[in-house]
Structure 1
Amino acid sequence: MEVTTISKLIPVTALLVLGALEAIGGLYFEDKRTKNDFTIELLSLVTLPTLIQPGIFILVLGVLGATLPGLEDSLVGISWGWQLLAFLVLDDMTQYWWHRLSHVNRKMWKLHRPHHVVEEMGVLVTYRNATLYYALMPGIWFSALLVYLGMGYVYLFYLPVKLVVILLAHSETKWDRFLYRYKILSPLAWIVERTISTPSTHFAHHGLTAEDGISHPNGNYGNLLFIWDMIFGTAKITRKYPSRFGAWNQIKEPWYVQLFFPLVRSKDPNSELHSIKTKNDYDPSVDFKEFSN
């Protein structure tokens, strides 16, 4: 089997296995997840790997091939370590900042909002964002550039590892619990939770309110690496999991509004997706407790 095929099968297999385990545990049969939620999640899972990412790669490779043909595969000879570092910085670190920006900038938040209004976790939450959130994501464009420069083979290993870590970080299977259960594993847990995203740290990011002492809605932004949160001062580690998830502006717009905003907008004037700027725009400095009083 070719490396390219294996690279694609690994995250797909992880998604199916984790989804099956969650379903067996009863996650998808509770009433918090609506048909609208399922539609958003399934469409996001399909469009990102089949339309958005390939579209960006085709565009970047085509433009660079036509304008800068001499640069093609120009860095293919550098060591795998440097190539991996390039992806970690230009893809994963830029995604950290892209993610962080979406929790600070009110217009950016509207593209990321579908990811947070759902009130449950699970692997299906992983890629539920507006289409433009991914279409404009710098990391995907930089990855295409690095592939053009000759780092495509390393990308075939880097990408599935990143995707599996992110899927696991959203999964209700909470794989990291065994690290916290046994005292002998505490040193390993200390290293792991500060290196990559885990369910504990990422569930905290999805928590509804920091009032519970566990949730950290405006932090823990890391995707593959949690190191970025450690470096840039946005980390919170409790080894616990929030009991409530979501965002304080809970208006649930139709799937096509959430996915295709601002091209498609909500008809509800109370919705922050009614326009690019509204009086009800999300303010990340306001916690749910303050908002609900």
Structure 2
Amino acid sequence: MVNLVQNIVLVTIILVFALLEIRSRKHEHFHATADDTKLELFMFLALLAVSQPFIFAVTAKLSALAMPEQRNAWAHLPWWAMGAILLIADDMTQYWWHRVSHSPRLWPLHRAHHTAHYMSIRITYRNNFFYYLMMPGLWASGVLIYLGFGNAYLVYIVIKLAVILGAHSAVPWDAPLYRVKWLHPLAWVLERTVVTPATHWAHHALTNDDGIGHYKGNFGNLLFVWDLLFGTAKITRRYPSRVGLQDDLVFGKERWFVEMFYPLIHSRRAHSALVPGGRAYAETETDGDGRPEAPAAVSKT
């Protein structure tokens, strides 16, 4: 029941942001390929119909076997306590999962999220299929639902989904906060509390050279507090002019099914992180046209 209600709310939020993007006509500049669309659509459906239901079903079954007397045992907790527990068990663990996913070993499971050359709500769940199956926060949330957090989780996930979708939206909701001077104090508080388009777009930036990009930081999903607390925050109140990955410019984009199902399917690209022993592209100097050169020897990043 929790999963059904969550999916209905999720689709509703997505439709609202989609209408905003369509109204702004930003979608006309995406130039998304057929592979982009397939990866984003199939991963969205896989998360809603396969990964999350599977995780919640397994955690419910295992919890019932391991602690049958604890079903709904924490249902009496006040809302603020449930919220705090969810922020730690789901959002903070997702921060760390996201952060370690930028390490060489786990990068292939998250790389797909950064291969989009546009920002939009459509890329929110663009990831490798196994990225969500291995996400600690989803497993922890499944256990908490068994313990009685069902209704609290629905409220929490609505707030979190709205923030995450807003952070990826092609229409940055925080832009007016930076333009209007009397709104600057509100902007200061918000950008240090929750993830905003400006801070998250920086994480998707094509390069760090512009002083805006910060693709090895700004890992938060709901709360930006984690980035401030763990030293990975960068706030500029600006948006990078380009997003995506340098190696796609050099070697061409990976096929959607490779990005989604690696390591079951391997890349055939000249240089790729999506092959056994493959290495992530190392950002190097650019050539005279401003395009990155392929390195003679690529080291892990």
TM-score by length of 2: 0.90
Identity %: 43
Take 2:145 and 2:212, find their aligned partners in 1: how far apart are those partners? 39
Matched, 1:212 2:210: yes
Aligned length: 286
Cα distance between partner residues in 2 of 1:29 and 1:181: 25
Distance 1:70 1:3, change over 3 A: closer
Number of the residue aligned with 1:260? 261
Give the Cα separation in 1 of the matches to 2:213 and 2:168: 14
1:26-45 to structure 2, matched below 5 A, reads: 26-30=25-29, 32-45=31-44
Measured in 1, the distance between the counterparts of 2:64 and 2:8 equals 28
Distance 1:142 1:3 in 2: 15
CA contact (8 A) 1:102 1:108 kept: yes
Partner of 2:53: 54
Question: Which amino acid counterpart does residue 38 of structure 1 have in structure 2?
Answer: T
Which residue of the partner structure matches residue 78 of structure 2? 79
Residue in structure 2 matched with residue 130 of structure 1 by the alignment: 128
**Which 5+ residue runs of structure 1 have no aligned equivalent?**
none
Q: Give 2:226's aligned residue.
A: 228
Corresponding residue for 2:296? none
Q: Which amino acid aligns with 1:124?
A: R
Structure 1 window deviating more from structure 2 (182-191 vs 15-24): it is 15-24
Query: How far apart in 2 are the matches of 1:223 and 1:31?
Result: 23
Say if 1:209 and 1:288, in contact at 8 Å, map to a contact too: no
TM-score by length of 1: 0.92
Task: Give yes or no for contact 1:203–1:242 (8 Å, CA) kept in 2.
Answer: yes
CA RMSD of aligned residues (A): 1.9
- Once the two structures are superposed, the pairs formed by residues 103-252 of structure 1 within 5 Å of their partners are 103=102, 105-250=103-248, 251-252=252-253
2:285 matched to 1:292? Answer: no
Contact 1:166 1:224 in 2 (8 A): yes
Q: Secondary structure at the match of 1:195?
A: coil
Residue identity in the other structure for 2:147: L
SS across alignment from 2:106: helix
Q: Once the 2 structures are TM-superposed, how far is the Cα of residue 25 of structure 1 from its aligned partner?
A: 3.1
Q: CA deviation at 1:289?
A: 4.2
Contact kept, 8 Å, 2:284 with 2:292, in 1: the verdict is yes
Cα 1:189/1:288, change in 2 over 3 Å: farther
Task: Measure how far apart 1:67 and its partner are.
Answer: 2.8
1:253 is displaced (CA, Å) by 1.7
For 1:32 and 1:258, locate their aligned partners in 2 and report how far apart those are by CA, in whole Å. Answer: 19
Matched residues in 2 for 1:32 and 1:245: separation? 13
Question: Would you say the 8 A contact 2:26–2:171 is kept in 1?
Answer: no
- Check the 8 A contact 1:180/1:186 in 2, yes or no: yes
